[in-house]
Structure 1
Amino acid sequence: MSQAVDPLAPADVLRAQGRSFHWAARFMSAATAGDAAVLYAFCRRIDDLGDETAPERAGPALDAVFAALDGGPVPDRETERFLGLAQRRGISLDAARALVRAVRADLDAPQLPDGDALIQYAHGVAGTVGVMMCPVLGVRDPRAWPFAVDLGIAMQLTNIARDVGEDAASGRRYLPATWLGGPLSPAELCAGDSEVDGRVRRALARTLETADRYYASAERGMRFIPARARLAILAARHIYAAIGPRVLAAHDWRRRAAVPPGRKAVCSLAALMAFAHPRTWDVGSPSAHDPALHASIAGRVGADPDAPA
């Protein structure tokens, strides 16, 4: 008799819902890819509670996960598996708590006021994931954390640029009002006109320019990652960064842009070339992190300890 497939198996979640990360995981060892899938499934569970569950149910569900991180009853399989992984790998539960808090706050359908709020949001929902990924990848040096945070922030900024239309349809606006030249409601984004379109495109360009600065910083921290896992993270970085130009080139930014398999292969080749011929992080001591990148998140988990408050 064939064994039933667990519908919550982390590898299945990664394969079905994390296409870019599933592609990059091909470059990891089986053990590392398995642990990364467990972390991904937990983070995806938190994200889905925030995005796909009615707020009156999502709030208590997220509170239950937060309580489990503090030693309370475990509410679901994803959290149970994550807690086992965290104990085995030494993952920061402070980062996990920060992730849950950020998604919990997101239930209030935010409309971000400025760039500082955008970076703070991106840190909460994605920079924290970078911190949790470090021990999964075998990274133990705490100097790596700010660079890992930067990769998470960069990827989240890419997500925000890609998903403006979807987010607006759910009542959320992450593009900062100051970058839009003034506040625009999600309804105004969805309706749109030529004047709104121009404002959104300028804000998209600024968001993706900001993402590029964080991608560049993240790449300077790649030398902290063991070689095989480093190639996987470089692949994820290049694939995700490739979304931005497709967003800017799209005729309708309300439709989600994606990187087709052929382009992913090109990005993987670029990652392989960066791996084989590093320029910014292969010589001498690790490049110092730019603390100015973390001025908005000073004191938060994984942030540069020298960031100006």
Structure 2
Amino acid sequence: MGGVRALNPLDAAYAGSKRINAQYGRTYFLATRLLPPERRPAVHALYGFARVADEVVDNPGPDPAGDLLALEGALKSAFDGGPTENPVLLALADTVHRYSIDRDLFSMFLQSMRMDLTVTDYADMDELARYTHGSAGVIGLMLLPVLGTVSPEAAPHAAALGEAFQLTNFLRDVGEDLDRGRVYLPADHLAAFGVDRDRLTFARAHGPDRAVRQAVAHFAAVARARYREAEPGIGLLDPVSRPCVATAARLYRAILDEIAEAGYDVVTRRAVVPTGRRAALAAPGIARCVLARVARTRGPAPGA
């Protein structure tokens, strides 16, 4: 009598990371569908690990610092070939080995996660940049070997795109971060509009005033500038990866559009791109994805 064949542990680990990506990172997951199938599991593994670390600091247990330290120790052991019962780490270790991803990038990422346990405000953009490079810029660098490049000059653009995504997340989640006691928007930029933590907290309860809306509009402009810095790097990626990354950027920029359409109210509501609009934004990427795969299958034209 036949039955469903059980997945081997590594395949099951990758499948679990894919479920995490699908559940918690819908925008990333949609864009990842535009990658060649053989490259998608690595992206799911990287996302799954980032999500696990995020959960330690966003929904902490009694000892989040100890939990992060334990995660780092388990990660090092998995990288060194040691046994692991954590399927996310199993998939991640295989991805890091398969694509020769720099292990130091994970230490930088976890350092930023530690900052979330003690740092609740940022004085200026330089302070925030140190956090965002570790929390998001290095994610772009981790992904580069998976996506493939045609030029080593892609690295700073990849980091910039990760940081642009992070700035967009900061704007989208201002209200939720306030509830956690955090303000990621730099204090000096807020002060230029007469805004501080107390004013944001009041707006969380009573709605944003003109000054808060102006401050948010300013940060949206900062995020858009970061996307412009990142954009030239898309053309430096492997052609089959470009539709995925371009679509991810388009989908995340759409969050900024939703924020603008809501009158820059990010304290009483969370901007969400409607499903229909997400599909419409992804459609051009699907067409380019098909063309890129056809071109790769056929190979270069004679004389190209």
Q: Give a deviation string over 1:27-58, Cα, whole Å, max 9, x none.
A: 1111111111111101111111111123x422
Tell which structure's C-alpha radius of gyration is larger: 2
Shift of 1:103: 0.7
Q: Return 9-18 or 56-65, whichever deviates more.
A: 56-65
Matches within 5 A, 1:254-293: 254=267, 255-269=269-283, 271=285
Amino acid at match of 1:58: P
From 108, 120, 128, the equivalent of 2:130 is 120
Structure 1 residues without counterparts, runs of 5 or longer: 277-309
Shift of 1:89: 0.6
Q: Give a deviation string over 1:161-216, Cα, whole Å, max 9, x none.
A: 0000000001000111111116723x642332889633332222222211112211
Counterparts of 1:162 and 1:197 in 2: how far apart (Å)? Answer: 17
Q: Calculate the aligned-residue CA RMSD, in Å.
A: 2.8
Structure 2 residues without counterparts, runs of 5 or longer: 291-304
Q: Secondary structure at the match of 1:92?
A: coil
**1:157 to 2:171 alignment:** no
Q: Cα distance 1:58–1:4, how it changes in 2: closer, same or farther (>3 A)? A: farther
The answer on whether the counterparts of 1:134 and 1:140 sit within 8 Å (CA) in structure 2 is no
What corresponds to 2:48 in structure 1?
41
Amino acid at match of 1:258: V
Q: Secondary structure at the match of 1:111?
A: coil
Matches within 5 A, 1:1-309: 1-2=3-4, 9-54=16-61, 56-71=62-77, 76-139=86-149, 141-181=151-191, 184-185=196-197, 188-192=199-203, 197-250=209-262, 252-254=265-267, 255-269=269-283, 271=285
Q: Give a deviation string over 1:224-265, Cα, whole Å, max 9, x none.
A: 211121101100000001101211222542211111122112
TM-score (normalised: structure 2)? 0.81
Q: Cα distance 1:30–1:195, how it changes in 2: closer, same or farther (>3 A)? A: closer
Counterparts of 2:186 and 2:212 in 1: how far apart (Å)? Answer: 10
The answer on whether the counterparts of 1:42 and 1:79 sit within 8 Å (CA) in structure 2 is yes
Counterparts of 2:225 and 2:237 in 1: how far apart (Å)? Answer: 20
What corresponds to 1:289 in structure 2?
none
Counterparts of 1:150 and 1:50 in 2: how far apart (Å)? Answer: 24
The answer on whether the counterparts of 2:42 and 2:92 sit within 8 Å (CA) in structure 1 is no
Q: Return 108-117 or 225-234, whichever deviates more.
A: 108-117
Q: Cα distance 1:125–1:105, how it changes in 2: closer, same or farther (>3 A)? A: same
Alignment coverage as a number of residue pairs: 275
TM-score (normalised: structure 1)? 0.80
Shift of 1:268: 2.1
Sequence identity (%): 31
